[in-house]
């Protein structure tokens, strides 16, 4: 029989197989997940989780769909965290330092504690991309934050109450609209998507086994 471990879900003790992810352990224990489960494959950020191992002081973070359970794990999920999302019209903004001062001035209250970086389940250098945003270096901020899944865990640990994912999203939008070189072939692809010309291709990919889809993603050609 498979080895069982003891986990505590929202304060209640459960015995679960050690091979399960946190999300699988929740369902094994009888929880019906209707929120905070998202893609179930590790990259949508919907299943942000905080946990602590019994006897240890460190508070750890993870995505519940990809992190394996451990014996003595105390678990609490965060399917939503109240990030500040400012409203703006991208067409009326300019890619300069003043735009961050206007929309997200709290980034200048960063105390450099690096708690955001330590908390990131994607292992992004969050404090660094906030520093780029402070200086108006939006291309660097966009590159450094590219793999952000907006789970919000970084913001839960921030004493300055910075909404890091929203700052990064603004930087990527400014970079995409005003700074990154224009790509004619991207315009062509967007047009094909809008016209429904790639529906058969999308369906063919969706019908492939998950491991083959992962391989296609990991070996895709990335434009420099």
Which fold is adopted by the domain 4-77? Ubiquitin-like (UB roll) (3.10.20)
For residue 68, the model assigns a pLDDT of: 94
Instruction: Provide the residue ranges of all domains of the chain, joining segments of one domain with +.
Output: 4-77, 90-179, 187-218
For the ranges 32-36, 102-106, 135-139, the lowest mean pLDDT is seen at: 32-36
CB 138, CB 131: distance < 8 Å: no
Percent of the chain at pLDDT > 70 equals: 99
* CA pair distance 156, 11, nearest whole angstrom: 20
The predicted-structure confidence for 10-54, as pLDDT tens digits, reads as follows 889 999 999 999 999 999 999 998 887 888 876 788 899 999 999
Q: Which CATH number fits domain 90-179: 3.40.50.740, 3.40.50.300, 3.40.449.10, 1.10.1060.10?
A: 1.10.1060.10
Q: What sign does the dihedral 129-131-132-133 (CA atoms) show? A: positive
HSE-up (13 A, CA, CB side) for residue 181: 5
Question: Matching CATH topology for 4-77 and 90-179?
Answer: no
Q: Which residues contact 109 (CB under 8 A, 6 or more apart)?
A: 160, 162
For residue 224, the model assigns a pLDDT of: 65
DSSP 141: H
CB 211, CB 217: distance < 8 Å: no
Work out the mean pLDDT of the chain and round it to a whole number: 91
Overall pTM > 0.85: no
């Amino acid at each position: 029989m498979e080895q069982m471990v003891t986990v505590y879900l929202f304060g209640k003790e459960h015995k679960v197989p050690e091979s399960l992810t946190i999300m699988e352990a929740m369902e094994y224990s009888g929880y019906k997940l209707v929120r905070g489960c998202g893609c179930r494959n590790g990259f949508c950020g919907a299943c942000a989780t905080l946990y602590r191992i019994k006897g240890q002081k460190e508070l750890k973070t993870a995505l519940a769909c990809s992190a394996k359970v451990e014996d003595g794990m105390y678990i609490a999920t965060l399917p939503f965290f109240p990030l500040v999302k400012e409203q703006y019209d991208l067409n009326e903004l300019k890619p300069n330092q003043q735009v961050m001062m206007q929309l997200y001035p709290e980034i200048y209250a960063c105390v450099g504690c690096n708690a955001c970086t330590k908390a990131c389940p994607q292992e992004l250098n969050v404090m660094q991309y906030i520093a780029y945003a402070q200086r108006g270096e939006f291309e660097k901020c966009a590159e450094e934050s590219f793999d952000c899944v907006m789970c919000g865990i970084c913001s839960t640990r921030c004493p300055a109450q910075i909404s890091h994912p929203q700052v990064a999203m603004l930087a990527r939008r400014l970079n995409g609209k005003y700074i990154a070189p224009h790509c004619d072939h991207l315009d062509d692809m967007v047009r094909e998507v809008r016209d429904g010309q790639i529906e058969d291709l999308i369906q063919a990919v969706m019908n492939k086994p998950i491991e083959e889809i992962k391989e296609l993603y990991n070996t895709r050609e990335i434009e420099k």
